[in-house]
Amino acid sequence: MSDPTTTPGARPLLEIKNLEVGFQSSDGIIPAVRGVDLTLMAGQTLAIVGESGSGKSTTASAIINLLPGAGRITGGSILFDGKELTNYSTKQMEDIRGREIGYVPQDPMSNLNPVWSVGFQVEETIRANGIATGRKAVREHAIQVLREAGLQDADKRLKQFPHQFSGGMRQRVLIGIGLSSRPKLLIADEPTSALDVTVQRRILDHLETLTRDIGTAVLFITHDLGLAAERAEQLVVMYKGRIVEAGPSREILENPLHPYTQRLVAAAPSLASRRILSATQESATHSLSDLDYAPTTVTEGIDLIAAAEERVERERAGGAAPTRRPDAIVVNDLTKVYKIRGQGKGSAGEITAADHVSFAVEKGTTTAIVGESGSGKSTVAKMILKLEQPTSGQILIDGVDVAPLKGRSLLDLRRRLQPVFQDPYGSLNPLRNIGNTIAEPLLVHKAGDHASRRARVLELLDQVALPQSLITRYPNELSGGQRQRVAIARALALKPDIVVLDEAVSALDVLVQAQILKLLAELQSELELTYLFITHDLAVVRVIADNVCVMQKGRIVEAASTDEVFDHPQEQYTKELLNAIPGAGIALGV
Amino acid sequence: MSNNTPTRGPGHFVAPLEETPLVAVDAIKLDERKSNLWIDAWRDMRRRPMFWISAVIILLVIFVAFFPTLFTQVPPNDDCQLANSNGAPTGEHILGFTKQGCDIFSRIVHGTATSLSVGIIVTILTTVLGILFGAFAGFYGGWLDSVLSRAGDIFFSIPYILAAVVIMSVFSAYRNVFVISLAIGIFAWPATARVLRAEILRVKQSDYVMAAQAVGVSNFRILLRHVLPNSIAPVIVVTTISLGAAIVAEATLSFLGVGLPNSTMSWGNDISAAQVDLRTAPQTLIYPSLALSITVLAFIMMGEVIRDALDPKARAQR
Amino acid sequence: MAGYILRRLLQAIPVLLGTTFLIYFMVFAMPGDPLLALFGDKTPNPALLERLREEYHLDQPFIVQYFLYLGGIFRGDFGTSFSGEPVSEILARTFPVTIRLAIMALIIEFVGGVIVGLVSGLRKGKLFDASALVISLIFISLPIFVIAFVAQFIFGIQLGWARTTVSTGAPIQDLILPAFVLASITFAQLVRLTRASVIETEGLDFVRTAYGKGLSRRRIIPVHILRNSLIPVVTYAATDFGVLLVGATVTEGIFNVPGVGRTLYQAIIRGEGPTVVSFVTVMVLIYLVVNLVVDLLYGLLDPRIRYVK
């Protein structure tokens, strides 16, 4: 099968054999891709899945020799359309790029040159690849490219600059550029990771239609297993620079054989929410623990179902009694209006970030606020944390209006209400060691003496499963997930009742994310915490939350229990969001 | 690799587990040595020859300034004889003589303290003013920022040497090291303030600042404990480089005749006095210029080394 | 764009008022007789003192003095020099010379600095880059008068390639050496800045994407790397114009170029305080105008500034 000479007529479009890529450093060459084999037939879509550092992007960059500065191909061969690309000269490679292999980069915000108009950047591609010549022909072709990419009034759009485009529109431009010369192969490196889920879905649908029409093969790089399975026939899973598993997508998802793939399947939120969904639909009495995917030791601590289970068990322990516990947080008609400086003459405009938002969070439960960027979800969180002043409306914490709180009583509120923020690299002061960071809340609230504070810090490190030796270490020695653990420990230092998690797991790799979600679930049952969970990721919500508020443009459009929202969404917007969860289209035989 | 690709192609391929053994998710790998910004920067700096060269020069300059007599026994002024005017080097007088017949080397050695003091006083002044203005403007924002930044803009709009020329013209009766340092420093601080303000605006956005607010840490403590320490790195770079610039400014003012009085020994004065004899006795100009330039170069080099060490982006660029 | 220009112009007004007030304040709000202080150890003749007293309205309260002086500036009246000639007339005579020198220096600085910086950045770590870095550091450390004297000594006296002093008409060929001297310091800064900017731009995502879409390096370097690198370089050039002004004063003085700088230089050397103040004010105004122009240019260079806000 793998030998093209024995199967005439089925020569692969791309055949990578034993590819080795290394990065030159002062300590010699550090390998990034180790012996990768990969075959892609014309018109096919293949996805490479892996975490950051797995070598998936490096493999893709190596094909068109776009490796960053110190990267070198150190071995193996890349056969594209019968041509050996590894010994191509710079000039030859320029002819391949764009013309025969298109490229769509990851972040639409940084991949268009801000000083040139969009039309200029499309036109120069057309000219460089010899698709059209002459001013007029090039211009017409550019309009056609943008129109194909799905931009309305493409001819007017040509003159505009990238900053006048939204992220989704910029990505459409980049896709248009990548496909402008009808290449045989398109390399799409996480093309929609930076976009909102609904935009992501529309753009990927569009990309699929385009490439099918042109007959372009797609090499799709992503960290999202659900997304990969949904968009590609073939799947390649990479781990530490090697391929650990490859094959048809459905087959791999249903029957992962390599322990690493099993881990990924267990940890992917999009798949977990599917699994929970199919279980609850199957039977109401079905216990979640029956869902446990192939309970092997490799998935321990990272199976998302385990986190969800913790929640269900906690509910049961709370007694089947229908008596509602008191509300920890009550928000009434909360509104926040930002004044912004308008265009040109300094006229002031207004943006309503939160528009009459009302909801309540029962003690000991988790409520998720879900929304896309600009929905106002973080603004609500900041107002509850009293980091922003509401324009109007009321916030009650344990029945007490927080608006008039000052001094001593405000400090008391802060003790009971703690946040964990998104960016693991920005959430800790890089110049203070872990011990001082966790102890700061204790110090500010004058809790105990030096010895008891130290003891508390050690206890907290245990609680978040970090070694005590970290106490004298600095944040830059830790990974993103470990930093989030420290941030959680700091939030728990004062034994709060309520924790506001503002996208606290969004920036983490899936396995680490699953681990942190499980930790959060355990801490919740152990310490009877109330969580307000802010996120853009509906899939994660399914795993962790009891209730959901869906926000759009500053308003709550739908609020109900998680099961209700997932099983019987009322609003069109909620349905769109649910449909946009990657992997939603896959029928999983759990 | 042929041994582990049995089912490549449309089939389902699984790599043998031995090839990539699973590692615990998010395992903690600690270096034996601790590391943070400053520790890393120091490790980086001490590997560079440029750091050691400039450090040795700076230490030498400081030493000469404090103990000039250890370096020369020749008095700089008392022993001048017009017979030696612009004379060539002799055994004891290794660099020759000035127009007044004074020993050039001795004058350079004894002038060190002047140049260095101006540099240090100006730097202290600009750093204190720059940190006060930059920190309050950047951290508190709002109307305070508007007022402080506009004030900075105004001071920034007068090139500081021109401003110093005017001040020194007005205070011509009080020309000494303090007045000249004040004249330079009072218009040189906005550069420091701008750098710090920009950095504080960036650091202020960090989640750890918000986390500290949510814990109830007071604003002033957040500024002192969290924001300022993380914003100070570029200020250190600017400060080191501006020390060199201040020494140049003093020399320029002395050269223009509005600097220190002729009775004060300074490199600037010596260079100024030597310009008339450029044709006949270039050494009278060249040696003090060399002393000045090497000192300034040392401070600027040090600033560059610190910049590279503190900025990982710049480090990756080399 | 019109809104941007208007906003910039409006923002320049408080700075203009502030700077002129500050200069005036430094000179005339000090205790004692400002005029006597300005003349230092010299004793001016009483007739001159009387004339100056009238000219600066010293019999009026300070704030009235300032506004009268400000009004004078707007009418183009910068006072009278020591010799009795109106400063505006001296300016009319000397300004063209300085402009000629400045344009020559700016061309040398920009063309040379940007080219050397670009090559240096593109060949980072190579011999050319290393030498450019070392040489530029040395130039930055040298005070401009040292550079001027050394250039005068080597090219004027030893090699005889150029005149050590400029002849009266200030012909272009005489200005070449002073222009190079004047350009040298900012040139070195510009090399370093362009280099850093080029290296940063080269690492940006859109440059990688430009390669990805099939553009050749020959096109990417000018269109995507150099074009974007120029934005910080131009901003810097504006703030560094102050260094150029001080440099012009020293260089024109040393090479005897009959421009605005030399007039200021001689006034400083001779201790003619009031003239010094007038000319410093003129230079600060030039500096403000140049900064304003560069700010507007910045809007042309960066569409994000032009269209947003």
Q: What is the pLDDT of residues B278-290, one digit of tens each?
A: 777 778 888 888 9
Picking from B248, B257, B286, the nearest residue to C143 by CB comes out as B248
Q: Regarding predicted confidence, which is higher, C4 or A78? A: A78
**Could you tell me if C119 and C221 are in contact, meaning their C-beta atoms sit under 8 angstroms apart?**
no
Q: Regarding predicted confidence, which is higher, A235 or B44? A: A235
**Could you tell me if A58 and A33 are in contact, meaning their C-beta atoms sit under 8 angstroms apart?**
yes
DSSP code per residue over A497-563: SEEEEESTTTTS-HHHHHHHHHHHHHHHHHHT-EEEEEES-HHHHHHH-SEEEEEETTEEEEEEEHH
Mean pLDDT for chain B overall:
84
Give me the pLDDT at residue B34, please: 76
Q: Please report the beta strands in A316-465, taking only residues with DSSP state E, as ranges in sequence order.
A: 327-341, 348-362, 366-370, 392-397, 400-401, 417-420
If one counts every other C-beta atom within 10 angstroms of the C-beta of residue A457, the result is: 23
Decide if B13 and A246 are in contact by the 8 Å CB cutoff. Answer: yes
Structure tokens of A12?
A: 């692969």
A chain contacts of residue B229, beta-carbon cutoff 8 Å: 429, 431
Decide if B26 and A482 are in contact by the 8 Å CB cutoff. Answer: yes
Give me the pLDDT at residue A586, please: 63
Q: What is the pLDDT of residues B146-204, one digit of tens each?
A: 889 888 888 888 888 888 888 888 887 788 889 999 999 998 999 899 999 999 998 99
Which residues does A162 contact at the CB level (< 8 Å), separation at least 6?
A: A112, A113, A114, A118, A170, A173
Give me the pLDDT at residue A373, please: 85
Which residues does C67 contact at the CB level (< 8 Å), separation at least 6?
A: none
If one counts every other C-beta atom within 10 angstroms of the C-beta of residue C138, the result is: 14
Give me the pLDDT at residue B4, please: 42
Decide if C209 and A111 are in contact by the 8 Å CB cutoff. Answer: yes
Decide if A242 and B226 are in contact by the 8 Å CB cutoff. Answer: no
* Residue C111 φ then ψ, to 5°: -60, -50
Closest chain A residue to the Cα of B231, Cα to Cα: A431
Which residues does B280 contact at the CB level (< 8 Å), separation at least 6?
A: B86
Tell me what percent of the residues of chain C surpass a pLDDT of 70: 92
A chain contacts of residue C206, beta-carbon cutoff 8 Å: 110-114
Q: Rounded to 5 degrees, what angle do the CA atoms A256, A260, A264 make?
A: 75
Query: Looking at chain B, which subunits does it touch, using at least 3 CB pairs closer than 8 Å as the criterion?
Result: A, C
Mean pLDDT for chain C overall:
83
Residue B38 contacts A where some CB pair is shorter than 8 Å? yes
Picking from B20, B34, B37, the nearest residue to A244 by CB comes out as B20
Asked if the model's pLDDT at residue A98 lies above 50, the reply is yes
Give me the pLDDT at residue B9, please: 43
Q: Regarding predicted confidence, which is higher, B101 or A243? A: A243
Under DSSP, the state recorded for A404 is: T
Under DSSP, the state recorded for B99 is: T
Q: Which of A501, C66, A559 is nearest to B207 (CA)?
A: A501
Q: What is the pLDDT of residues C3-44, one digit of tens each?
A: 778 888 888 888 888 888 888 888 776 666 767 766 666 666
In the predicted model, what is the mean pLDDT of residues B206-218? 91
The least confident of B68-77, B87-96, B156-165 is B87-96
B chain contacts of residue A260, beta-carbon cutoff 8 Å: 20, 22
Q: Where are the domains of chain B?
A: 116-317
In the predicted model, what is the mean pLDDT of residues C178-200? 90
Residue B278 contacts C where some CB pair is shorter than 8 Å? yes
C chain contacts of residue B271, beta-carbon cutoff 8 Å: 143, 145-146
Decide if B35 and A476 are in contact by the 8 Å CB cutoff. Answer: yes
Selected residue of C213, C216, C220 to mutate for chain A interface (largest A Cβ count, 10 A)? C213
Multiple choice CATH, B116-317, 1.10.10.10, 1.10.10.410, 1.20.140.10, 1.10.3720.10: 1.10.3720.10
Three-state DSSP string of A110-159:
CCCCCCCCHHHHHHHHHHHCCCCCCHHHHHHHHHHHHHHCCCCCHHHHCC
Q: What is the pLDDT of residues A477-492, one digit of tens each?
A: 888 889 999 999 999 9
Query: Looking at chain C, which subunits does it touch, using at least 3 CB pairs closer than 8 Å as the criterion?
Result: A, B
Residue C43 contacts A where some CB pair is shorter than 8 Å? no
At A266, the pLDDT band (50, 70, 90 cuts) reads confident
Interface of C with B in 17-76 (CB under 8 A): 18-19, 22-23, 26-27, 30, 34, 37-38, 40-41
Decide if B252 and C144 are in contact by the 8 Å CB cutoff. Answer: yes
Counting one residue from chain A and one from chain C, the pairs whose CB atoms sit within 8 A come to: 93
A chain contacts of residue C209, beta-carbon cutoff 8 Å: 103, 105, 111-112, 174
Rounded to whole angstroms, what are the CA distances from B57 to A10, A372, B292, B297, C197?
A: 71, 58, 12, 9, 30
Q: Where are the domains of chain A?
A: 101-181
Closest chain C residue to the Cα of A341, Cα to Cα: C309
The least confident of A24-38, A213-227, A317-331 is A317-331
- Residue B49: strand pairing partners: none
Decide if C214 and A90 are in contact by the 8 Å CB cutoff. Answer: no
Which residues does B9 contact at the CB level (< 8 Å), separation at least 6?
A: A1, A2, A39
The least confident of A77-81, B16-20, B165-169, B245-249 is B16-20
Residue C106 contacts B where some CB pair is shorter than 8 Å? no
At A287, the pLDDT band (50, 70, 90 cuts) reads very low
Decide if A39 and B13 are in contact by the 8 Å CB cutoff. Answer: no
Q: Which of C261, C34, C22, C145 is nearest to B163 (CA)?
A: C22
Asked if the model's pLDDT at residue A151 lies above 60, the reply is yes
Decide if A515 and B11 are in contact by the 8 Å CB cutoff. Answer: no
Counting one residue from chain B and one from chain C, the pairs whose CB atoms sit within 8 A come to: 148
Give me the pLDDT at residue A447, please: 83
Decide if A114 and C302 are in contact by the 8 Å CB cutoff. Answer: yes
**Could you tell me if A506 and A537 are in contact, meaning their C-beta atoms sit under 8 angstroms apart?**
yes
At A273, the pLDDT band (50, 70, 90 cuts) reads low
C chain contacts of residue B300, beta-carbon cutoff 8 Å: 137, 140-141
Residue C84 contacts B where some CB pair is shorter than 8 Å? no
In angstroms, what separates the C-alpha of B301 from chain C's closest C-alpha? Answer: 8
Distance CA(A535)–CA(C15), nearest Å, equals 46
Residue B275 contacts C where some CB pair is shorter than 8 Å? yes
* Residue C277 φ then ψ, to 5°: -60, -45
* Residue A358 φ then ψ, to 5°: -135, 135
Q: What is the pLDDT of residues C42-86, one digit of tens each?
A: 666 777 777 777 777 777 777 787 888 788 877 777 777 767 788
Q: Rounded to 5 degrees, what angle do the CA atoms A436, B312, B298 make?
A: 105
Task: Give one word for A242, left, alpha or beta, with left for phi > 0 and alpha for psi -120 to 50.
Answer: beta
Distance CA(B203)–CA(B212), nearest Å, equals 13
- Residue A77: strand pairing partners: A17
Selected residue of C10, C27, C138, C146 to mutate for chain B interface (largest B Cβ count, 10 A)? C146
Give me the pLDDT at residue A279, please: 58
CA atoms within 13 A on the CB side of B22: 15
In angstroms, what separates the C-alpha of C280 from chain B's closest C-alpha? Answer: 6
Tell me what percent of the residues of chain B surpass a pLDDT of 70: 93
Picking from C27, C40, C288, the nearest residue to B166 by CB comes out as C27
Interface of A with B in 330-389 (CB under 8 A): 382, 385-387
Tell me what percent of the residues of chain A surpass a pLDDT of 90: 43
Decide if C15 and B159 are in contact by the 8 Å CB cutoff. Answer: no
Mean pLDDT for chain A overall:
85
Decide if C137 and B153 are in contact by the 8 Å CB cutoff. Answer: no
Give me the pLDDT at residue B5, please: 41
C chain contacts of residue B155, beta-carbon cutoff 8 Å: 22
Distance CA(A55)–CA(A33), nearest Å, equals 6
In angstroms, what separates the C-alpha of C126 from chain A's closest C-alpha? Answer: 15
Distance CA(C231)–CA(C220), nearest Å, equals 17
Q: What is the pLDDT of residues B106-150, one digit of tens each?
A: 888 888 999 999 999 999 999 999 999 999 999 998 889 888 988
